[in-house]
């Protein structure tokens, strides 16, 4: 009789799909409350522990994102809900929506607003044609 290692079992039962949005909202709200002033007196060990936790969270979020994209693609969700192919919706995702500020009245606080444009492709390499031959 084999037993499943505890590292492979989820820490809690999976949330229902309606609960997933709530959990993600809570995580985003929690991140908005992280302030520089709260980190300035941290020990070196605390900082390294935070980095380990953020790295673990980043991996879990990345994996969840991949699964959700696969499920949405298989179901044709973007075409039905947004009338656009999923790859096109993903390429524009986040660019058409203004910040909501719906985190308990905290608007623009924390690292989220500073890094809002990061990773969206806002910084594009020069595409003026420099370096190309005359056409």
Q: Looking at the domain assignment, is residue 71 inside a domain?
A: yes
* pLDDT per position as a tens digit, 42-57: 999 999 999 999 999 9
CA distance 60 to 57: 5
Q: Looking at the domain assignment, is residue 117 inside a domain?
A: no
Residue 103, SS3 per DSSP: strand
Number of domains the chain contains = 1
110 band by pLDDT with thresholds 50, 70 and 90: very low
**Containing structural domain, residue 85:** 67-93
Instruction: Please say if the pLDDT value at position 4 is more than 80.
Output: no
Please classify residue 89 by burial: count the beta carbons closer than 10 Å to its beta carbon, then call 0-12 exposed, 13-18 middle and 19+ buried: middle
Residue 106, SS3 per DSSP: strand
Q: Looking at the domain assignment, is residue 82 inside a domain?
A: yes
* Its pTM surpasses 0.85: no
Q: Which two tokens stand for residue 32?
A: 């908005």
CA distance 93 to 121: 11
Q: What is the pLDDT of residue 122?
A: 43
Q: Looking at the domain assignment, is residue 49 inside a domain?
A: no
Nearest Cα residue to 27 out of 69, 70, 60, 51: 60
CA distance 34 to 88: 33
Q: Looking at the domain assignment, is residue 75 inside a domain?
A: yes
Q: Looking at the domain assignment, is residue 98 inside a domain?
A: no
**Stronger pLDDT, 1 or 93, i.e. the higher one:** 93
> Looking only at Cα atoms, what is the longest distance across the chain?
72
Q: Looking at the domain assignment, is residue 101 inside a domain?
A: no
């Amino acid at each position: 009789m084999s037993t499943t290692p505890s590292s492979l079992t989820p820490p809690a039962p999976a949330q229902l799909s309606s609960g997933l949005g709530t959990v993600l909202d809570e995580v985003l709200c929690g991140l908005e409350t992280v302030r520089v002033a709260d980190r300035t007196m941290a020990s070196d060990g605390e900082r390294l522990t935070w980095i380990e936790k953020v790295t673990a969270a980043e991996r879990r979020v990345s994996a969840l994102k991949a699964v959700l994209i696969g499920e949405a693609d298989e179901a044709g969700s973007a075409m039905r809900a947004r009338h656009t192919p999923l790859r096109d919706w993903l390429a524009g995702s986040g660019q058409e929506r203004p910040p909501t500020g719906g985190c308990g009245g905290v608007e623009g606080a924390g690292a989220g607003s500073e890094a809002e444009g990061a990773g969206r492709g806002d910084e594009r390499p020069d595409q003026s044609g420099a370096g190309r031959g005359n056409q």
